[in-house]
Amino acid sequence: MIKKPRTKPLKLLKLNAILQRLVHNHLKHGELQIEFARYSAGYRGEVALDYYLHDLDENSYFILHDLRLPRDREKKYYFQIDCLILHSSFGVLLEVKNLSGDLYFDHLFDQMKRTKNGVDETFPDPVSQVQQQKIYLESWLKKNQLPKIPLYSLVVLTNPKSFITLSPHYGKKAAQIIRTKSLANKVQQISTYHQEILTKKDLSKITTKLFKQHERHSPDLLKTYNINHTDIITGVFCPGCNHIPMRRERSTWICSKCNIKSKDAHIRALQDFAVIFNEPVKNKTLRRFLHIDSTTCMKNLLRSMNLTPSGPTNSATYHLPIPE
Ligand SMILES: [Zn+2]
């Protein structure tokens, strides 16, 4: 049973929205595009995994995607799990990698080298990464006074075209690297080693706590990439030809390029704002972003999306929801 469905990583949504709205010829454009391609590939890999997770009996397994949990009470540090499979007798953490090219797992320096089109790139060894996450999860369960269960960690390589090689002394860790198609078999094999420990109630207690403590990661990419707020193009995109900005006339958005009319083109713009800036926002700031003159018109648009302001009237702010 899928207990926590996959959502698009916020970083991917942010990169996409920034790329769409970044002023032309911006210095960081290329860098953002490379990062976007890398994240998209990662996400595609996780989506590809779903097909194989489907092979697990849905009455026996709980599947939780993309968890990000605090490591300490002060919530200073977090750990992330691509996918957690829970069973009444054990749990499996998955680290999903969708990399093409030649992959070389190097035990000596705890790294993985990817060679593609003659270019070498190094990554931290994903097996060590997921083993570390397993340790964090064990301690998280303990801290939250939840039942202890045997935990396993696996690295799932979702790109069937990648060519895998291991360093000669890679050792037992190799058993933790699998291809997507072997996932269900591997998990079922693990299930044969264990007796039931958790009741349905225990399992539901664990998943509820995981949900409650999960926090979606929202990195400030404008800061990371040193992009000024003024480098972000404001206005409403035309849903027909992607021209920006549309103008608002008599409660309708009109494109001056293709003449398309739209009643709800502002929704995407508000989503872009929410994703890029991710902060409480005043009516005035949104009017500037959408190119709307009237305060009342802005208020009505937000109300039509069930958004109401909070705080004192002269400094009231809106919390725009982040799309799932
Ligand atoms: Zn248009």
Query: Tens of pLDDT along 1-35?
Result: 777 778 888 999 999 999 999 999 999 999 999 99
Q: Could you tell me the distance, in angstroms and rounded to a whole number, from the CA of residue 34 to the centre of ligand 1?
A: 28
Predicted local distance difference test score (pLDDT) of residue 312: 87
**Percent of the chain clearing pLDDT 70 (strictly above):** 100
Same domain for 103 and 56: yes
Same domain for 130 and 48: yes
Residue 321 has pLDDT above 80, yes or no: yes
66's enclosing H/E stretch is strand 62-70
Domain count along the chain: 2
Residue 75 has pLDDT above 90, yes or no: no
**15 found inside a domain:** yes
Per-residue confidence at 125, pLDDT binned at 50, 70, 90?
A: very high
**300 found inside a domain:** yes
Q: Could you tell me the distance, in angstroms and rounded to a whole number, from the CA of residue 267 to the centre of ligand 1?
A: 16
**220 found inside a domain:** no
Q: Could you tell me the distance, in angstroms and rounded to a whole number, from the CA of residue 236 to the centre of ligand 1?
A: 11
Q: Could you tell me the distance, in angstroms and rounded to a whole number, from the CA of residue 260 to the centre of ligand 1?
A: 6
Q: Could you tell me the distance, in angstroms and rounded to a whole number, from the CA of residue 237 to the centre of ligand 1?
A: 8
Same domain for 261 and 125: no
Same domain for 179 and 34: yes
Q: Could you tell me the distance, in angstroms and rounded to a whole number, from the CA of residue 234 to the centre of ligand 1?
A: 16
Structure-block tokens of residue 70: 């605090």
Per-residue confidence at 139, pLDDT binned at 50, 70, 90?
A: very high
Q: Could you tell me the distance, in angstroms and rounded to a whole number, from the CA of residue 22 to the centre of ligand 1?
A: 19
Q: Could you tell me the distance, in angstroms and rounded to a whole number, from the CA of residue 259 to the centre of ligand 1?
A: 6
**229 found inside a domain:** no
Same domain for 71 and 206: yes
Same domain for 268 and 163: no
Q: Could you tell me the distance, in angstroms and rounded to a whole number, from the CA of residue 162 to the centre of ligand 1?
A: 42
Q: Could you tell me the distance, in angstroms and rounded to a whole number, from the CA of residue 235 to the centre of ligand 1?
A: 13
Q: Could you tell me the distance, in angstroms and rounded to a whole number, from the CA of residue 128 to the centre of ligand 1?
A: 50
Per-residue confidence at 242, pLDDT binned at 50, 70, 90?
A: very high
Q: Could you tell me the distance, in angstroms and rounded to a whole number, from the CA of residue 323 to the centre of ligand 1?
A: 24
Q: Could you tell me the distance, in angstroms and rounded to a whole number, from the CA of residue 266 to the centre of ligand 1?
A: 14
Q: Could you tell me the distance, in angstroms and rounded to a whole number, from the CA of residue 231 to the centre of ligand 1?
A: 22
- Give the residue from 178, 213, 248 where a domain finishes: 213
Q: Which residues of 21-39 are buried (b: 16+ CB within 10 A; e: fewer)?
A: bbeeebebeeebeebbeeb
- Count Cβ atoms below 10 Å from residue 118 Cβ, excluding itself: 6
**61 found inside a domain:** yes
Q: Could you tell me the distance, in angstroms and rounded to a whole number, from the CA of residue 17 to the centre of ligand 1?
A: 19
Contacts of 306 (CB under 8 A, 6+ apart): none
Same domain for 261 and 165: no
**227 found inside a domain:** no
Same domain for 303 and 178: no
Residue 260 has pLDDT above 90, yes or no: yes
Q: Could you tell me the distance, in angstroms and rounded to a whole number, from the CA of residue 206 to the centre of ligand 1?
A: 50
CB-based contact 163:103 (threshold 8 Å): yes
Q: Ramachandran region of residue 250, left (φ > 0), alpha (ψ -120 to 50) or beta?
A: left
Q: Could you tell me the distance, in angstroms and rounded to a whole number, from the CA of residue 241 to the centre of ligand 1?
A: 4
Q: Could you tell me the distance, in angstroms and rounded to a whole number, from the CA of residue 107 to the centre of ligand 1?
A: 55
Residue 108 has pLDDT above 90, yes or no: no
Q: Could you tell me the distance, in angstroms and rounded to a whole number, from the CA of residue 131 to the centre of ligand 1?
A: 51
Q: Could you tell me the distance, in angstroms and rounded to a whole number, from the CA of residue 262 to the centre of ligand 1?
A: 10
Q: Could you tell me the distance, in angstroms and rounded to a whole number, from the CA of residue 145 to the centre of ligand 1?
A: 57
Distance separating alpha carbons of residues 252 and 250, to the nearest angstrom: 5
Domain range holding 84? 2-213
**221 found inside a domain:** no
Contacts of 233 (CB under 8 A, 6+ apart): 21, 22, 23, 244
Q: Could you tell me the distance, in angstroms and rounded to a whole number, from the CA of residue 291 to the centre of ligand 1?
A: 16
CB-based contact 63:83 (threshold 8 Å): yes
Q: Could you tell me the distance, in angstroms and rounded to a whole number, from the CA of residue 222 to the centre of ligand 1?
A: 28
Residue 318 backbone dihedrals phi, psi, to 5 degrees: -110, 145
Same domain for 262 and 208: no
Mean pLDDT of 227-239: 96
**321 found inside a domain:** no
pTM of the model as a whole = 0.85
Same domain for 164 and 285: no
Residue 147 has pLDDT above 80, yes or no: yes
Same domain for 244 and 130: no
Same domain for 55 and 14: yes
Smallest Cα–Cα separation from 32: which of 164, 226, 210, 303?
Answer: 226
- Give the residue from 213, 247, 270 where a domain finishes: 213
- Give the residue from 213, 248, 275 where a domain finishes: 213
Q: Could you tell me the distance, in angstroms and rounded to a whole number, from the CA of residue 258 to the centre of ligand 1?
A: 4
CB-based contact 97:156 (threshold 8 Å): yes
CA end-to-end distance (rounded Å), the chain: 20
Smallest Cα–Cα separation from 228: which of 300, 272, 277, 295?
Answer: 277
Predicted local distance difference test score (pLDDT) of residue 323: 84
CB-based contact 68:215 (threshold 8 Å): yes
The total number of residues written for the chain in this structure: 324
The stretches of 6-103 forming alpha helices (DSSP H) are: 10-21, 29-53
Q: What is the pLDDT of residues 176-231, one digit of tens each?
A: 999 999 999 999 999 999 999 999 899 999 999 999 999 988 899 999 999 999 99
